[in-house]
Structure 1
Amino acid sequence: MKKLVNAPRAVVREMLEGLVALAPGQALLDGESVVLRADTPVDAAARKVAVLSGGGSGHEPAHAGYVGAGMLDAAVAGDVFTSPSADAVLAALRAVAGPAGALLVVKNYTGDRLNFGLAAELARAEGIPVETVVVADDVSLHDTVEPARRRGIAGTVLVHKVAGAAAAAGASLQDVAREAREAAEALGTMGVALGPCTVPAAGKPGFTLGEDEIELGLGIHGEQGVRRVPMRSADSLVDTLLTTIVEDRRISAGDRVVLLVNGLGGTPPMELAIVARHALTVLRQGGIRVERAWSGTFLSALEMPGCSLSLLKVDDARLARLDAAAEAPAWPGAGRLPQAPRVQKRPESPESAEASAVETPLPGMDRVRQAALRVAEAFEVSESRLTALDSAAGDGDLGLSLVRGAEAIRALPDASWTNPSRALTALGNALRRSIGGSSGPFYATALLRAARRLAEGPVDASAWAEAFDVAVSAVSELGGARPGDRTMLDALRPAADAFAKAVREGKSPREAWGAAVQAAEAGAEATSQMQPRLGRASYLGARAVGVPDAGAAAVVIWMKALTPALG
């Protein structure tokens, strides 16, 4: 187990100290694991209805992240996945509640219910009016337990918002509690885990999953789900989660809802966005009006990979509570949505108009096209080799990138092959669109620069040599590399120089190109003994030595592929 902690026993206190140090509107209660609003009035009589929540730690940003104006007045933190004590909850109540009373928002776990419930009784005995709302939004347990025994999970954050907004608006304790209970009853959540999490004190995952297994219907304490199923696509999982929630909460066409897409701690925003995309599509296709939506990590289970979806039915009044201003650090804001996904039409590029122009091909252009297609074939055949070379000192994407480039070359229309300048321009534009990373811009810049040189006059061997030279110079200018830096230039520059020299000496194009290929091979092989000075490989330093540069190797591949076309 590797975690950025000092000692398991100190995790909660040190975490809270860090959170409060970053949040100007928060304070720590002395001697307790309680975060409260820094602007809580000292005079208890001046306090509005206080809204409190909490539970075990490990669910960050819940619960301390929701302490702030418009949401919680205090959050009580227990040890990781462990309910806080009744004394800690009581201390929080004393710190923020006054004659107007307090509402405790409790997730439906035995420890939380017992400790928050006992603290409420003790506070009432001291004269503090207290109401309790229990959130049990986990619909995955619909076939397992009665509704009152379901777990409280990520949808609880929406109840925090509704209750906090009601209290901020000056509502009475009874009205704040009523609105929170009604929101909790209109709420449904279900989650899926792609893997387990590790509690710092335990030092090992709570369960194990096979490579192709996931857990459906999990809670938020690292426990297993309701059932284990084979891995599915994101869209298929969203369908399963939404179907269960919609059926359990009796949501139908015409209903208004808000959507919460919650990461469980180990899910990147990329994957959550993919989930949100399909969830919004499915709900809208079903005639369900999604008034607001949020995507992010709101209530986690340490570093667990996976997500949950929550749907809350809304009307104008509840939506106003969700829209009300809040200054809690973890609340993401309004969650407003466009009426429909916006996709703007792309302006037509100049090369599109050029490609559509009718022009008779110059003699020999069929040979140029065949040469380009040989390069495409060479890229496809060499994918695995280039991937292996690039993985040794880079990110391993060069092989796949050049295969995409090959597909783009094959897709060029007939109008691209009417003269050398147009052909190189079309190739450059195709490669810049299809090849990611650094290779796309390098090849596109080189080809476009060469195309401009060939457009200046007659195209003979000398013109091709000059075009090759300016193309290589363009690569150097764009990336800042020089021969010896262990890049594609270590193959390109000697090849261009050798080709130009052979042409000046009156050698045939085929002989000149042969000399260029030999120079490129020697340059590419020499990179295996160079320490990289540019690009991702430079981060490895001496560890990259011993393997040729993948970009230089790719140069040799396409140069050899061109050889049969030269006569």
Structure 2
Amino acid sequence: MAFQGKKLVNDPNAVVTEFIEGLVETFPGLQYLDGFPQVKVVLRADIPGNKYDKVAVISGGGSGHEPAQAGFVGEGMLTAAICGDVFTSPPVDSILAGIRAVTGPKGCLLIVTNYTGDRLNFGLAAEEAKSEGYKVEMVIVGDDCALPPPRGITGRRGLAGTVLIHKVAGAAAAAGLSLAEVAAEAQHASELVGTMGVALSVCTLPGQVTSDRLGPGLMELGLGIHGEPGAAVAELQPVEVVVSHVLKQILSLETQYVPIKRGSRVVLMINGLGATPIMELMIASGKAIPQLQLEHGLAVDRVYTGSFMTSLDMAGFSISIMKSEPSILDRLDAPTKAPYWPVGVEGDRPPAKIPVPVPPSHSSRNEEEFNQPQELNEQGRILECAILAAVNAIIDVKDKLNDWDSKVGDGDCGSTMYRGAMAILDDMKKCYPLNVASETVNEIGTSIRRVMGGTSGILYAIFCKAAYASLKGSPDVTPEQWSRALEASIAAVSKYGRAERGYRTMLDALIPASIVLKENLDKGNDPIAAFVLSSEAAVNGAESTKEMQPQAGRSSYITGDVLSTVPDPGAMAAATWYRAAALAVEHKLKNSEN
């Protein structure tokens, strides 16, 4: 029977904000940004903002895993942590606020746990920051060893081993290394660590009931840290047996999750999941060390036991094993003032919060100019025509997209695209600088990000941001520049969404279009004819998704018989707006010649 969980909270919707307030009052070396709704960023109190002379190391994700990530902010570790709502990726604007607050000339490294929402939101923030002139690199950590190597593009989840990567990167940054060097050390460290967890209970979200999924006498092996089911449910065993199973899974020679073999030296982390007494964690630690030494032939250089990355009030623990190298040990042993590594509370108390830094202007035009009517030049008129045709085509195909998506997804592709199209129509009347193509593309991305939820909204926002970066600084955009911008957008979507051609996504429409467009322009063919031909390739590419097996998303759960009758809705949506834009431009230019 499910029951309401007991929590010492005021408002379930305000737990993250109140946690941050208590954290910065407890530790004088921390501050938080305050000023805009939904911005939850914890940062070091001892750095001079954008004048910081070392690489900033930033991490974050959904809250509920405390002390990760905010408890690891401090000299020698993280420079800032971005806190999402409980088990929810932080929004792009919060990530950007954190980047702007702490990043100096040497740039910043984003350390991201491998979950789709985190990858996409941090990815878009990275592209936005780059377009503003910041140097940004990103390392994605996937240390989960519970499941066999997965199909498709999802990859391994990020678990408690991520904290070790924070320490390595933070120490490297504190030593004065360059952004490329810090990123390389973090990436290398992430490839040396594996983690697996065991749960004795299910966590309870604030304000919600406790699931009765895990009954008495049972434990869950290979759990995630968001309350999702594990790889298997088994009878509760003595801790020595549980530890043995976990160590064998992480060190399995068949899966080769980590490059560790007999004779290697390792670092061990025993991590409590939120409701596990330190006594039980120490028992697990005491059983793990001799097993590593005697059964697996490993030398244990360091042991960290405590709660580092939790799952609210879940009972259980995870074990992380990291291959030990002299350079890794140097980073782990380097001094830090991050409060939960841990360190003592010391020093004068600065103000608990500082204002959110104001982002740089998103356009060469000021706000007053955006609200003034503009006389469109030829490029502006063509761009206006293309945008209107594209969004109206999406509006017309809304119901068909929803129908397709109801068969292979969650049924809202058309509605989601419709919201984006209506926002573009509305915003174009007020603020699109149509005479400047790059700024218009950037504003389209802003409109989409505001109203389109889910994966498609963030992917289109990334698409527009990458195109803007490619076109920026070109007042009169040539067909070749448009082609390169399309290539850059596709590359960005593929990078952060991890999709490629043949994965049954919108890229199956856009990649063929990009290839045909470039080939025709390289041959010196008429640009408008090339645009129209590429739009035909987009439609054919979208139709071909009927024959593809999906590699990601909800469609991966659908049988092949159903998939073969329905094209991918996202690909069809992309082909629809692209084709409509091409035909509209062709029609407009033909009429103007006549």
TM range (shorter): 0.5 to 0.7
Corresponding residue of 1:555: none
Aligned to 2:309: 299
- 1:122 & 1:61 partners in 2: Cα distance? 28
Does structure 2 conserve the Cα–Cα contact (< 8 Å) formed by 1:55 and 1:112? yes
The secondary structure found in structure 1 opposite 2:67 is: coil
Contact 2:201/2:219 (<8 A) preserved: yes
SS in 2 for 1:19: helix
Aligned-partner Cα distance in 1 for 2:47–2:108: 13
Q: Secondary structure at 1:87's aligned position in 2?
A: helix
Aligned to 1:115: 121
Q: Are 2:230 and 1:225 aligned?
A: yes
1:279 maps to amino acid: A
Mapping of residues 278-289 of structure 1, within 5 Å = 278-285=287-294, 286-289=296-299
Partner of 1:52: 58
- Report matched runs for 1:416-495 at 5 Å: none
Is the contact between residue 257 and residue 313 of structure 1 (CA under 8 Å) also seen in structure 2?
yes
Aligned to 2:280: 271
CA distance in 2, matches of 1:25, 1:330: 12
The Cα shift of 1:69 comes to: 0.4
Q: Residues of 2 paired with 1:230 and 1:81: CA distance?
A: 28
Residue 19 (structure 1) aligned with residue 23 (structure 2) = yes
Q: Residue 81 of structure 1 corresponds to which residue in structure 2?
A: 87
Alignment correspondent of 1:432: none
Aligned equivalents of 2:76, 2:152: Cα separation in 1:
33
Q: Which residue of 2 aligns with 1:161?
A: 167
Q: Which of 303, 308, 328 lines up with 2:338 in the alignment?
A: 328
The whole-number CA distance in structure 2 between the counterparts of 1:118 and 1:16 is 25
**2 CA distance for matches of 1:56 and 1:206?**
20
Deviation at 1:147, TM superposition (A): 8.7
Corresponding position: 1:242 with 2:247: yes
Aligned mates of 2:211, 2:299 — CA distance in 1: 38
String of CA shifts for 1:185-210, please: whole Å, max 9, x gaps. Answer: 11100000001011114x11245212
Aligned equivalent of 1:72, options 65, 69, 78 = 78
Shift of 1:213: 1.1
* Residues 224-243 of structure 1: CA deviation (Å, up to 9, x unaligned): 10111111110000001000
**Counterpart in the other structure of 1:35:** 42
Give the distance between the partners of 2:29 and 2:276, measured in 1 at CA. 28
Inter-partner Cα distance in structure 1 for 2:99 and 2:303: 32
**More relative contact order in 1 or in 2 (CA 8 Å, sep 6+)?**
2
Cα distance in structure 2, aligned partners of 1:118 and 1:159: 22
- In structure 1, C-alpha distance between the alignment counterparts of 2:153 and 2:168, rounded to whole Å: 21
Partner letter of residue 319 of structure 1? L
Give the distance between the partners of 2:140 and 2:52, measured in 1 at CA.
27
User: Residues 380-432 of structure 1, C-alpha deviation per residue, up to 9 Å, x if partnerless?
Assistant: xxxxxxxxxxxxxxxxxxxxxxxxxxxxxxxxxxxxxxxxxxxxxxxxxxxxx
Distance 1:109 1:121, change over 3 A: same
Contact in 2 for aligned 1:33/1:77 (Cα 8 Å)? yes
Q: Is the 8 A contact 1:53 1:106 kept in 2?
A: yes
Separation (CA, whole Å) in 1 of partners of 2:152 and 2:263: 28
Q: 1:403 maps to which residue?
A: none
In 2: Cα distance, 1:120 partner to 1:176 partner: 16
Deviation of the 1:45 alpha carbon:
3.5
Q: 1:287 to 1:134 in 2, by over 3 A?
A: same
Aligned equivalents of 2:299 and 2:138: distance in 1? 31
Would the aligned equivalents of 1:107 and 1:152 in 2 still touch at CA under 8 Å? Answer: yes
Q: Tell me how far apart the structure 2 counterparts of residues 146 and 186 of structure 1 sit (CA, whole Å).
A: 22
Task: Work out the CA distance in 1 between the residues paired with 2:176 and 2:163.
Answer: 20
**155 and 309 in structure 1: CA distance in 2 versus 1, 3 angstrom threshold:** same
Quote the residue 1:127 is aligned against. 133
Matches of 2:334 and 2:260 in 1, distance apart?
Answer: 25
- Change over 3 Å in CA distance of 1:209–1:250 after alignment to 2: same
Question: Aligned ranges for residues 373-452 of structure 1 at < 5 Å?
Answer: none
Distance 2:130 2:324 in 1: 32
Q: Work out whether residues 272 and 310 of structure 2, in 8 Å CA contact, stay in contact via their aligned partners in 1.
A: yes
Q: Is the 8 A contact 1:207 1:223 kept in 2?
A: no
Look up the match of 2:109: 103
Largest Rg, 1 or 2: 1
- DSSP-derived class of the 2:173 partner: helix
- Secondary structure, in 3 states, of the residue corresponding to 1:312? strand
Q: 1:333/1:245 Cα in 2 relative to 1: closer, same or farther (>3 Å)?
A: farther
The alignment partner of 2:215 has SS state of coil
User: Does residue 1:314 correspond to 2:324, yes or no?
Assistant: yes
Q: Does the CA contact (< 8 Å) of 2:276 and 2:317 recur in 1?
A: yes
Q: Retained in 2: the 8 A contact 1:47–1:96?
A: no
Q: Within the alignment, does 1:290 sit opposite 2:300 as a pair?
A: yes
Normalised TM-score (structure 1)? 0.57
Match for residue 498 of structure 2?
A: none
Structure 1 residue matching 2:317: 3-state secondary structure: strand
Residue-by-residue CA offset, 1:87-132 (whole Å, 9 max, x unaligned): 1000000000011000000000011011111000000000000000
**Is the Cα–Cα contact under 8 Å of residues 166 and 176 in structure 1 kept in the other structure?**
yes
Q: What is the rounded CA distance, in whole Å, between the counterparts of 1:12 and 1:188 in structure 2?
A: 29
CA distance in 2, matches of 1:265, 1:321: 27
Work out the CA distance in 2 between the residues paired with 1:317 and 1:144.
Answer: 31
Rounded to whole Å, the distance in 1 between the matches of 2:157 and 2:204 is 21
TM-score (norm 2): 0.55
Counterpart Cα distance in 1 of 2:310 and 2:55: 28
- Alpha-carbon distance between aligned partners in 2 of 1:146 and 1:332, rounded to the nearest angstrom: 38
AA matched with 1:233: P
2:47 corresponds to which letter in structure 1? T
Which SS does the other structure have where 1:309 is aligned?
Answer: strand
Aligned residues: 332
Give the deviation of 1:284 after TM superposition. Answer: 1.1
Q: Distance in 1 between matches of 2:33 and 2:87?
A: 21
CA 325–145 in structure 1, closer or farther in 2 if over 3 Å, else same: farther
Unpaired segments of 5 or more residues in structure 2? 345-594
Secondary structure of the 1:141 match is coil
Output the CA distance in 1 between the equivalents of 2:221 and 2:275.
16
1:212 pairs, out of 211, 217, 222, with 217
Following TM superposition, by how much is the alpha carbon of 1:47 offset from its aligned partner in structure 2, in angstroms?
Answer: 2.7
SS at match of 1:229: strand
> In the aligned structure 2, how far is the partner of 1:68 from the partner of 1:127?
25
Change (3 A) 1:145 1:306: farther
Question: How far apart are 1:144 and its partner, in Å?
Answer: 4.3
Partners of 1:124 and 1:145 in 2: CA distance = 32
Moved over 4 A (4+): 143-148
Instruction: Give SS of 2:261's match.
Output: coil
Amino acid at match of 2:286: R
- Residue 11 of structure 1 aligns with an amino acid whose one-letter code is V
2:251 aligned counterpart, secondary structure: helix
Q: Which residue is equivalent to 1:363?
A: none
TM-fit CA distance, 1:249? 1.7
Question: Which range is displaced more, 284-293 or 98-107?
Answer: 284-293
Q: How far, CA to CA, are the matches of 1:7 and 1:63 in structure 2?
A: 22
Q: 1:144 to 1:255 in 2, by over 3 A?
A: same
Q: Secondary structure at the match of 2:275?
A: coil
Change (3 A) 1:333 1:187: farther
